[in-house]
A and B are shown apart, each in its own frame.
Chain A
Amino acid sequence: MLEIRGLTKSYGSRVALDGVTYSVRPGEMFGFVGPNGAGKTTTMRIVLGVLAADAGSVHWAGRPLDAATRARFGYMPEERGLYPKMRVGDQLSYLAALHGLPAATARAAALRWATELGLAERLGEPVEKLSLGNQQRVQLAAALVHDPDLLVLDEPFSGLDPVGVDVLAGVLARRVSEGAAVVFSSHQLELVERLCEVVGIIVAGKMVATGPVEELRHRGTRPRWRVDGPPPGWVRTVAGARVIDVPAGAGNRGVVVELDQGADPTQLLDAARAAGPVTHFAAVEPSLAEVFRDAVSAR
């Protein structure tokens, strides 16, 4: 398990991280979200040992990190980086060897991942000759080539076309099912919602929410219900209920109602039915984007 405890980091007088704490279990995909400049990249660089924290610690499997442990991590930095003139195959097996694989294993791994990501034809070409999309695939292969126990990916989906997104999502899901821990940051919250069981939201260097997506949806937000049927005048008759949205396109026949914590939704349904026939009645789950906006604006 990756355990990040109380990381702090300042650049001069600017505080980048202020007690960042979270953990990621093997077989878990962790979505790391937050506004630009909130501290996602800084946290990831500290986990990889590329940057030193001012205080706090990072543990893997209960022990502080050392070179041997970090060799089992895979990293895809936000600023993509490969040797432009080095051949794809050489580059991948070189990086695998740097992570401790013996030469023959490293070459085999390079071939396997290049094939997996559709780069088998390109093994002998220098990276600079590849299209941007293919360079991105090489970058991903570089992070995966030594089958790391922990994958740390900084904005891995940015710049990918929908097919690329699917390929990457598929590869990550498989690594997770094989027991790897995956942390990735993204601004594409629908993707995070789709892929991750657990998310962490960081704002201005502090974790403001961490936990399973399901849990975050309901934490601190009042239950919401969508009722289609009579015009919304009837809502006033229910204690603790407020109209918060009249969706366009519903022709004044649909309404989203927020109930106070503990209020009985059946009273809502009864009041609606008393006013006219009801065609739709369902709980509205807040999206991760809404959770995110609430978390950011609460600061």
Chain B
Amino acid sequence: MSRTSPVLLVARREFVERLRDRTFQVSTAVTLVILLGVIIIPHLLSGGGTSYTLGVVGDRARSVAAAVSAAGSATDITIKTQAFPDQAAAETAVRKKDVTAALTDREVIVREDLPGGLAPLLQPAAQRVAALDRLREQGIDPARVAAALASPPLPVRALQPRSASADANKTLAFFGIIVLYGQLATYGFWVASGVVEEKASRIIEVLLAAIRPRQLLTGKLLGIGLLGLGVLVLQAIVALPVAVAIGAFDLPTGWVGTLSQVLLWFLLGYAFYATIFAGAAATVSRQEELQNAITPLTLLIFVSLILGFGAANNPGSTLATVASYVPPLSVLVMPSRWAAGEVGVGQLALSVGLMLVAVLAIAALAVRLYEGAVLRVGAKVRLRDAWRSTARR
């Protein structure tokens, strides 16, 4: 039997122990519930279109209401009508909000004002009914009038048509970067707190008597990173079918590409942030001090997210374009620009290449910080001291 590589042993421990950890289980479940909530709740609230109830008094009003109803059905607005014997009854219904508005032969009665969605339907309908009445009074054949008025709506020709699938990909990317942000912040923090746990519990000395600091750090990053990737995939596996099943979202063509972007940038972003989180965490000895050490990094991820939102809204802007190449901002910016069809494979490769260079540079820096600081227990290790003390190892 051969011995297992220390890096794999450490990675397996990190993966298995974290998986068993109550805090991990609860936080993963909560994140999943929030994600589903974000998908399901807006869908439930929108309730599939707008609807108004019109109170009707008189024959003329009834014809107007019918015309409104016909126009509404063309624009996904449901109009219901309710007849009242006289104006007083209709006014009471408006006051009690039983109806949105009441139509009489002469006016529209509303409580405060006419809803914005109703006005553009109501006024043309009233004009049309009035015009028809007057033409009929002048003896013109109603059938001919109707034929003359029944002109088809203006055709629309788009020079750059928006495709439904591009929109859906943007939505997918938008959710993608939110989830990506959550994963990077969470799993970067797990790494940092794992480093501090080993320092605080002093087991670090036992471990480093058996293996090298670099092996320990690599294994830790690998184990927690795999877990992060697994949870990301789990989130996609749970959330996407739910979103499609309830009709909140149609899977666009190219969705695999958009999802692959999210996974790709998770790997790059995790490699970047988690190593530097580990380096920063190695300079402190207690969990209480950890927050201060990693706050600048947490802020950096947050700024990337804000830029990512900007890019999702306006993927062609100068800011989004520049940020999509600057590591580590590109992590949360590039997926939106890719989903919007703003960049090609060549530009993507450039952005990924720059990020890879940044990852290697930051890893070299973070590993040296880690090696220099991880055995120093007590006061916070100054970065310069950590850097220097590694030179001889």
Contacts and interface: CB of A to CB of B under 8 A. Distances in A.
Interface string A67-107: 10011010111011111111000100011011111111100
A251 B377 CA distance: 56
A219 B3 CA distance: 49
A77 B210 contact: no
Interface of B: 1-4, 6, 9-10, 13, 17, 21, 197-198, 201-212, 375, 377, 392-393
Contact of A77 (B10, B13, B198, B205): B205
A77 B206 contact: yes
Interface stretch (A46-54, A171-179, A193-201): A46-54
B209 A73 contact: yes
A50 B375 contact: yes
B204 A75 contact: no
B197 A75 contact: no
Interface in A29-66: 45, 48-52
A142 interface: yes
16 contacts: A49-B209, A50-B205, A52-B392, A75-B206, A81-B202, A81-B206, A83-B198, A86-B17, A94-B13, A95-B206, A97-B9, A102-B1, A102-B2, A103-B4, A104-B1, A105-B1
A75 B212 CA distance: 15
A80 B393 CA distance: 24
Interface of A is mostly: loop
Interface of A: 45, 48-52, 67, 70-71, 73, 75-77, 79-86, 90, 94-95, 97-105, 142-143
Given A97-B9, A100-B3, A51 B375 contact: yes
A79 B212 contact: no
A259 B21 CA distance: 69
B204 A81 contact: yes
Contacts of B206: 75-77, 81-82, 95, 142-143
A94 B209 contact: no
A77 B9 contact: no
Contacts of A79: 202, 205, 377
Contacts of A97: 3-4, 9
A82 B200 CA distance: 10
A81 B207 CA distance: 9
Contacts of B207: 98
A50 B9 CA distance: 20
Nearest to B377: A79
Given A75-B206, A86-B17, A100-B3, 8 more contacts: A70-B210, A71-B210, A79-B377, A81-B201, A85-B21, A98-B9, A98-B210, A143-B206
A237 B375 CA distance: 63
Contacts of A71: 210
Nearest to B206: A81
A97 B9 CA distance: 8
B146 to A, nearest CB: 80
B1 A48 contact: no
Contact of B3 (A80, A81, A90, A101): A101
Contacts of B375: 50-51
- Top 3 nearest A-B pairs by Cβ distance? A81-B202, A102-B1, A81-B203
